[in-house]
Structure 1
Amino acid sequence: MMYRSKSVGFTLVELLIVMVLIGLASSFVLPNMWQQLEQTKRYGERKQLIEAVKFAKQYSVYKGVTLKINLSNNSLEITDLSINKSQNVNQAAELEQNELNNPKNTAEDTVLKKVTFETLTFENSSFIVSAKTYFKKLAIKATFNNKNENEIFEI
């Protein structure tokens, strides 16, 4: 007479088969998830760069000041050049030209905004933004993750 086992459950072979199937499924899904995460970071940083430049343009018009946008390595810095309204247009243009030729900040400069990026890197460059240059497009060249993937943003 044979006795039947009363234990209920899965055998070791059944559990191993399920584990192998889960492993195969995850090997197809996980690489796509990491790629999607990278694309999401890129998209977010693109938007952050565009909005920072738009902020500088709008702030310069609203406040009537001249701003300088400095790009270096993986950061963007917006500084106020503190042009007083009492200065005439020639003095303002002369100051803008001096700032483009001499990229160091002076003691009068006030940092309005500084943004550090994780995936974007820039060539060292600076732009002057004022009410006169509001409609002028800025061409910013960025590299993603120090790879050969370059993109030029026209803002």
Structure 2
Amino acid sequence: MPDTIQRYVPPPLPPPRPPLTKDDLRSAKAALKHLPETVRGDRPRLLENLADRRRAEAPPSPRRRATAGGTAGRKEAHPLRGMKYQLIYSDAFGEVSERKIRFERTNDRDGTLSLVAHCYMRKAQREFRTDRIIEIADAETGVVIRDPETFFA
């Protein structure tokens, strides 16, 4: 048995994607015309539709007795809560991993937005900084989210 410990070296990152041509852009624009308006980037309408769908699917909540403080200090749940995403993430040490997550909420620490989510790989709640997300896509539709910081804000 050797006395030296071998250090794990992660596999190299895939090569960068080639730049888009004008034909690629034309075909992408043509494909976007066939997508529903909510997928094309109308974020407020997307969030509104998701919130409406969740309200319609949610069972009626049991009535609670009103308290003296009311609900003034209570935050409303994020409209994307419960949605599943596939992401490629680089941690603080530069280790790149592919994760499947269920989004819970956002967190703002010192001006840096993070996603608090259940990570299916770690089987626990984790926090993912948006500036370290390499790529994120909706797990059901495969639609890539170009700017996660703006999308989840």
TM-score, normalised by the number of residues in structure 2: 0.25
Larger radius of gyration: 1
- Of structures 1 and 2, the one with the larger relative CO (CA 8 A, separation 6+) is 1
- Larger % of helix: which? 1
